[in-house]
Structure formats: structure tokens, C-alpha cells
A and B are shown apart, each in its own frame.
Chain A
Amino acid sequence: MSGRAAVTGFGAVTPLGVGADVLHRRAVEGASGLVAGRGLCADFTPEEFLGRKEVRRADRFTHLAVAAADEALGRAGWSTRGSPPYPPERVACVIGTGVGGVRSHEAQLARLAQHGDAFVSALLAPMMMPNAAAAHLAMRYGLRGESYCVASACAAGAQAIGSGLRILAAGEADAVVVGGAEAAVSPVLHAGFRNAGALSPTGRSVPFARDRDGFLPGEGAGILVLERPEAAAARGATVLGEILGYGATSDAHHLTAPEPSARAAARAVTTALEAAGRAPHQIAYVNAHGTGTVLNDRAEATALRLALGEHLAAVPISSSKSYLGHLLGAAGAVEAIATLQALRHATAPPTVGLRDPDERLGKLDHVHTARSLPADGRPTALSTSFGFGGHNAVLVLAAGATEGGD
């Protein structure tokens, strides 16, 4: 049982801009943050959020996490310079990433080759370590509960949220700061992805398209503040949404390719729905993992069909990767925020650029331009994440707060 959590804050830095509101506004306009085949956070200036010392001592993935977290805590009404509204030991922090500070690593490898080992920075390890973002957030906000990193490739952001949900359900904390951050726009990593056949050789990211040929790399961060629903109510917090359920499984099949029958991925969807107490017909929107690789989109459609059955054909579905690129370890968190925004504003963002859907994926209700979602009856949505290594993680989200015990 994963329990449920009130979302009292969220923040995002993405290729569409700095902030979770600009993310939603531009996404529903059909805008894309992809430029020349990459999704860079061009509007982001670390110095606006961090002092010179902090900027110098942290990798860009941590800079992005801090900016998103400042927004999330601000939205939650928490101080970003003082103490959290709970005993500090009762606030945990779990931040996912795919590869951590890979650019910092690369810079020091070059220094090692050029100047020798005496000149490698003492800051290398604390900058590149995947847990750096969680560590910086704990230090910045004085969070003294458990903090760590989830590193499960493209499922890391979703699994960090799931981990936070479980920490709350276990009674280990009253609140958790969770999410994902990635700044792995790296030539060597891209070459590896390209040679593995995952990156689009044509420089397009059009999930579900008949001629889709891979994803485009992106960077960004998404951070959420989750609180025990009773605790959030007790402090009079504004509840922006709710994580109702979480399900996670493993393919146990292949390093990079999804398992074709998609049974394990479907099981993650079913588990999340059961935890949420929701039936397939109650799902109003699916924010798909939708990477735009031939194999992912095929396996994902299969998994969703296994889990949702005939209802899948009537559920609006879209992929944020069509306008952000693939944020790897940040993707699941940013997409959970995009999903919550879609529910709050009753508008689903489109799969940008999708003109010729692949009918071999079966009947899907693709969102081609922004689509109205039901505003009444607490609509519920799914956000799916699947990572290299066969990690499957699914979140069930709803807008607003549970009333009357729901």
C-alpha cells in the first residue's frame, strides 16, 4: 500500500521556461522547447537562484533542482530561507536523476588528461554524485529527515515521488520534498544513446508517430512538496492536487529494450490504480512516457491496453517529450507536474507535431491540440515512466484535495 499524499507545492524548470505555470501555458499553446534537436533550459540563469559560491560548487542538475524547489516550497507556503513548517527531522527529501553531474565529470576528465591528477578539482565528487541535488536541497532548506537519490534512469523522477509517498505512508515523515533533475546534455552520452538506437537520427521527437525514430535529449527539473493529507489540512495548506496511488515493477528482461508483452509495465499501472482505488473508466487523461522510440511506444500502448482494456481508446493521451525532449531522470517528476497542471486547469497538452499517428499502436485518443478535460468530479490521470533497465513506475494523480474522506 503506497498511501496517498497532498501535493502542496510544485516547481519546474524546463525547456519551455522557468516555472510550472509557463510549462503548462506554453504546452497547451502547442509550443515546443526543442531547438536544433535538443531541449535546453535556455531561460534559466543559475545566479538568479544561487550565490556565486553555490553555483561554483554544484553541477547544473543541482542548479536546476534548486530553482524548481524554490518555486515548489514557495507555492507550498514554506520558507525557502528558514525552517519547514514541521520538525526538520520529519521532512525527507528524495530526488531522482539518471546520471547526475556528468558534465562536471567530463570537465575534470579533460583536466586530468591535460594537466595531470594534481589538478583535478576536489569538488568533482560532491558535484557529480547523483545524490548532490538531494544533499543541496536538504542543506538549503534545513531538511533533516532521510534524504537520498533514486537513480533508475528515465523512471527515476517517478520513483522518487513513489519513494516519498512510501516514506509518508510508513509514518517516517510528515512531508517530503521529491522530484527529479537532469542536465545530461552531453556529447559523449548522446553518442552512446545514438549508437544504442534511442536518439532520433532525424532530430525530431514525435511520440506515437508512424515514422517516429527516437527521442531528443533535454534537461530540466521538477520538484514537488508532498504532505500527509491530515498534516496539510491541519496547517491550513492549499492543496494543489493529490498523489492517489503508485505502482512499480521491473521487466527483468533486457538492459534497454522493453519486454514486448508489456505484462510487467501493465502490472505497474494496475497496481497504481488499485492503490488509488480507481477503475480504468475513471481515468480522464494519460500523460504517457511516450519517448518516441519504436519499441517504447509499442510496449507502452500494449501495457496501457492490458491495464485499461477497452477504456484506453476513450482516454486522451499525450507525451510531454514532444515539446520538452527526454529529461531522463527528471522526466517522471516534470511529467507528474504537467499532469497535475492539466488536471488543475482542465486542459490536456498535446503531443506536439503528431500528424500521422501509428495505427499499429491500436486505437488511441491522441491529443493533437489542447483538449478540455472534465473539471468536476475530481478527474484522475495517469503518468507513466519506464526506464532503461526495465524500471516501470506509474503514478495516479488528481486535482485538488480529497473531501469527506473520499
Chain B
Amino acid sequence: MSDTLSRDVIDAFVTDTLVAFGIERGRITVESSFDELGVDSLDVVELSQALQKELGVPVRPKDFDENQTVGQVLEYVYRAAGLR
């Protein structure tokens, strides 16, 4: 896991990944749910793979679901990264 991993790094990585998935950056807030953003189960798998591969955070696709908000997902990732 990266030594420099912080909440800011995770926030930026998750946001940039969702933007790369085709979600408008301006629509991504902690209150917005994956479902509202149009992030489906296939995207969730890609996101969890990217978190593992690029940041080394041990998350699995089944840790997330489409009804969660971006904020809930981030909280989960912080915990998985040992940040709380």
C-alpha cells in the first residue's frame, strides 16, 4: 500500500475513476448514489479492481453496491486502507 495514501488521494482517485467511466465530474458529490450517477454493477467491479491495482487497497466488488452513496463508498475505502 502506498505510503502517501490519504483521504485526499482516495477521494481524487475515486472521482477520477468515475469521470473516466463517463460520469460528469460536477455530478459527483458525497450525497450522490451510484445508482443516480448511472454507475452499474459492471462499473463497480472495475472500480474495485482499480482501487486494488493502482492504490493497493484491499476491496472487493461485493463490498459495494449500487445503492450506496459516493460518501458511503469513500468511508468504506478509507477503512479498508487503514485510515481510521
B46 at interface by CB-CB < 8 Å: yes
B55 at interface by CB-CB < 8 Å: no
Residue of A at shortest CB range from B24? A52
Is the pair A52, B22 in contact by a Cβ cutoff of 8 Å?
A: yes
Main SS at interface, chain A: helix
Indicate whether A126 sits within 8 Å of B49 (C-beta atoms), given known contacts A51-B22, A53-B22.
no
**Which chain A positions have C-beta within 8 A of B20?**
52, 56
A123 at interface by CB-CB < 8 Å: yes
Q: How many Å from the CB of B22 to the closest CB on chain A?
A: 3
Residue of B at shortest CB range from A126? B42
Bitwise, A53-66 to B at CB < 8 A (1) or not (0) is 11111000000000
B27 at interface by CB-CB < 8 Å: no
Is the pair B49, A57 in contact by a Cβ cutoff of 8 Å?
A: no
**Which chain A positions have C-beta within 8 A of B79?**
none
Interface size on A, residues (CB 8 A): 14
In the bound assembly, the distance between CA atoms of A316 and B61 in angstroms comes to: 60
Residue of B at shortest CB range from A50? B22
**Which chain A positions have C-beta within 8 A of B61?**
122
Q: How many Å from the CB of B14 to the closest CB on chain A?
A: 16
Interface residues of A in 109-165 (CB under 8 A from B): 115, 118-119, 121-123, 126
Interface residues of B in 32-53 (CB under 8 A from A): 38, 41-42, 45-46, 49, 52-53
**Which chain B positions have C-beta within 8 A of A118?**
49, 52
B23 at interface by CB-CB < 8 Å: yes
Residue of A at shortest CB range from B39? A53
Bitwise, A231-268 to B at CB < 8 A (1) or not (0) is 00000000000000000000000000000000000000
Is the pair B22, A54 in contact by a Cβ cutoff of 8 Å?
A: yes
**Which chain A positions have C-beta within 8 A of B23?**
53
Is the pair B46, A53 in contact by a Cβ cutoff of 8 Å?
A: no
Q: How many Å from the CB of A50 to the closest CB on chain B?
A: 9
**Which chain A positions have C-beta within 8 A of B45?**
121-122
Is the pair A121, B46 in contact by a Cβ cutoff of 8 Å?
A: yes
Contact of A56 among B22, B49, B52 (CB under 8 A): B22
Contact of B38 among A53, A123, A126 (CB under 8 A): A53
Is the pair A122, B42 in contact by a Cβ cutoff of 8 Å?
A: yes
Is the pair A119, B49 in contact by a Cβ cutoff of 8 Å?
A: yes
User: Can you list 27 residue pairs at the A/B interface with Cβ under 8 Å?
Assistant: A51-B22, A52-B21, A52-B22, A53-B21, A53-B23, A53-B38, A54-B22, A56-B20, A56-B21, A56-B22, A57-B42, A115-B53, A118-B49, A118-B52, A119-B49, A119-B52, A119-B53, A121-B45, A121-B46, A121-B49, A122-B41, A122-B45, A122-B46, A122-B61, A123-B42, A123-B46, A126-B42
Which residues of B does A touch, CB under 8 Å? 20-23, 38, 41-42, 45-46, 49, 52-53, 61
